[in-house]
């Protein structure tokens, strides 16, 4: 068992058993404007969403989580079944472990086996991309026959993880060469600290096709690494950074001004949050932790969770008079509190 692989299992166990969320993504400061005369039929609302040329069943995206350890196979199998059943986009977790050790591919390849028609995103860290180049990106995509690849950035986690990579130099250049040469769309994805407007411009400049906000206010890697740390100095360091990051709503409002397709992930906890994200300019709303827990239980628990999210989304669409996701994107919102203050001070 490699270090990368056993870390994957540690993360799942911690996420299932411990409180790993921190802060506020900002959705409680956002209200969709109620339409008292909606003039549409709730039962015929069309939740389909377009993303990078694909038509998906809804804007709910199954965010990158796992794979790379035999114990993660069952979770990926269930997530993939949900992706296939509801025609949702899905990202797999970082494929590094399987690229280092091909025997571990099974926990990833199961996803394409169970979801032959789904829009799948491969996943690789920017540091692995920089160090191994386009060849690893190609192998990651081939492993699951993915439609796109997400390159994740996670400087906060690298900084406080005992085995973390502290040198991020050359990341942007690596991204630029990938975007130039690669045959599939490249999505740049944060994992809980958000993306600012200036960073988004650099990402578009490098040629990326989409940005996944990965904002602050949901799953916290500072908290996970804190809980995993055996060393008390590292635990203290994680603790000190529990409130670090750009809340998802604030990051979304910054990135949408820079243009380009957006997945809003980080602290979305209901179909209403997905509706709010779409109204604020996201093309899709990603969820990790809220799907992980039912996925560790059973197919039925996961399908029921997705159906509940879809019901909330449909009611929110009805109450804003939005027959389609395209019209939801024009729904008005009120933004109050700290979220509003942060948006007003952003560049
Ligand atoms: C993640 N996330 C993640 N992201 C990524 O790009 N590659 C990865 O390997 C992982 N691994 C991973 C494992 C687990 C157990 C969780 C819960 C999450 C991050 C994930 O895709 C998402 O950006 C954040 O979790 C924020 O969303 P939620 O959890 O607040 O809905």
% of the chain beyond a pLDDT of 90: 87
Least confident range of 69-78, 106-115, 116-125 = 69-78
> Which atom of ligand 1 has the smallest separation from the CA of 287?
31
The answer to whether residue 346 scores a pLDDT higher than 80 is no
Residues 54, 307: contact at Cβ < 8 Å? no
pLDDT, position 170? 97
The answer to whether residue 95 scores a pLDDT higher than 90 is yes
pLDDT, position 1? 67
Structure token digits, residue 304: 């029921």
pLDDT bucket at 6, cuts 50 / 70 / 90: confident
Burial class (CB in 10 A: 0-12, 13-18, 19+), 173: exposed
How many angstroms from the chain centroid is the CA of residue 34?
A: 28
Sign of CA dihedral 325, 331, 334, 338: positive
By alpha-carbon position, which residue is closest to atom 2 of ligand 1?
65
Number of H helices, E strands in the chain: 17, 12
Q: Where are the alpha helices (DSSP H) in 145-288?
A: 155-160, 171-181, 197-206, 221-228, 232-240, 248-256, 271-279
Q: Kindly report the length of the chain.
A: 347
Q: Find the 320 Cα to ligand 1 centroid distance in Å.
A: 30
Rounded to the nearest integer, the mean pLDDT of the chain is: 95
pLDDT bucket at 320, cuts 50 / 70 / 90: very high
The answer to whether residue 149 scores a pLDDT higher than 90 is yes
> Which residue, among 302, 312, 311, has the nearest Cα to 90 in the 3D structure?
302
The answer to whether residue 10 scores a pLDDT higher than 90 is no
By alpha-carbon position, which residue is closest to atom 23 of ligand 1?
191
Question: pTM (2 decimals)?
Answer: 0.97
> Which atom of ligand 1 has the smallest separation from the CA of 20?
17
Which of 156, 191, 218 gets mutated to test ligand 1 (max ligand atoms within 8 A of its CB)? 191
What CA–CA distance (Å, rounded) separates 332 from 215? 22
> Which atom of ligand 1 has the smallest separation from the CA of 152?
6
pLDDT, position 284? 98
Please give all residues whose beta carbon lies within 6 A of any atom in ligand 1, as ranges.
11-12, 15, 63-66, 93-94, 123, 150, 152, 189, 191-192, 214, 218-219, 265-268, 287-290, 292
Residues 267, 208: contact at Cβ < 8 Å? no
pLDDT, position 232? 85
By alpha-carbon position, which residue is closest to atom 13 of ligand 1?
65
Residue 346: C-alpha distances to residues 15, 254, 255 (Å): 32, 7, 11
């Amino acid at each position: 068992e490699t270090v990368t692989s056993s870390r994957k299992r540690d993360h799942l166990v911690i996420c299932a058993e411990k409180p790993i969320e921190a802060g506020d993504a900002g959705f409680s400061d956002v209200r969709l404007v109620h339409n008292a005369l909606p003039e549409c039929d709730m039962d015929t609302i069309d939740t389909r969403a377009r993303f990078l040329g694909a038509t998906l069943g809804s804007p709910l995206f199954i965010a990158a989580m796992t794979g790379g350890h035999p114990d993660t196979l069952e979770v990926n199998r269930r997530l993939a079944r949900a992706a296939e059943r509801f025609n949702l986009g899905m990202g797999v977790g970082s494929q590094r472990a399987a690229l280092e050790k091909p025997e571990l591919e099974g926990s990833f390849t199961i996803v394409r086996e169970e979801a032959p028609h789904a829009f799948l995103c491969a996943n690789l860290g920017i540091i692995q991309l920089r160090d191994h180049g386009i060849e690893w990106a190609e192998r990651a995509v081939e492993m699951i026959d993915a439609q796109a690849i997400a390159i994740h950035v996670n400087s906060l986690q690298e900084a406080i993880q005992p085995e973390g990579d502290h040198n991020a130099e050359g990341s942007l250049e690596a991204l630029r060469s990938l975007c130039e040469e690669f045959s599939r769309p490249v999505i740049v994805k944060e994992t809980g600290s958000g993306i600012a407007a200036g960073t988004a411009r650099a990402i578009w400049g490098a040629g990326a096709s989409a940005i996944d906000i990965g904002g602050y206010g949901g799953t916290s890697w500072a908290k996970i690494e804190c809980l995993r740390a055996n060393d008390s100095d590292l635990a203290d360091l994680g603790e000190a950074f529990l409130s670090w990051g750009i809340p998802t709503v604030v990051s979304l409002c910054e990135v949408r001004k820079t243009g380009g397709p957006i997945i809003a992930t980080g602290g979305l906890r209901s179909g209403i949050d997905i509706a709010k994200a779409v109204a604020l300019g996201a093309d899709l709303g990603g969820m990790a932790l809220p799907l992980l827990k039912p996925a560790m239980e059973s197919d039925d628990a996961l399908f029921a969770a997705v159906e509940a999210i879809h019901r909330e989304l449909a009611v929110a669409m009805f109450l804003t008079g939005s027959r389609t996701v395209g019209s939801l994107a024009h729904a008005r919102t009120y933004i109050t509190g700290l979220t509003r203050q942060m948006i007003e001070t952003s560049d």
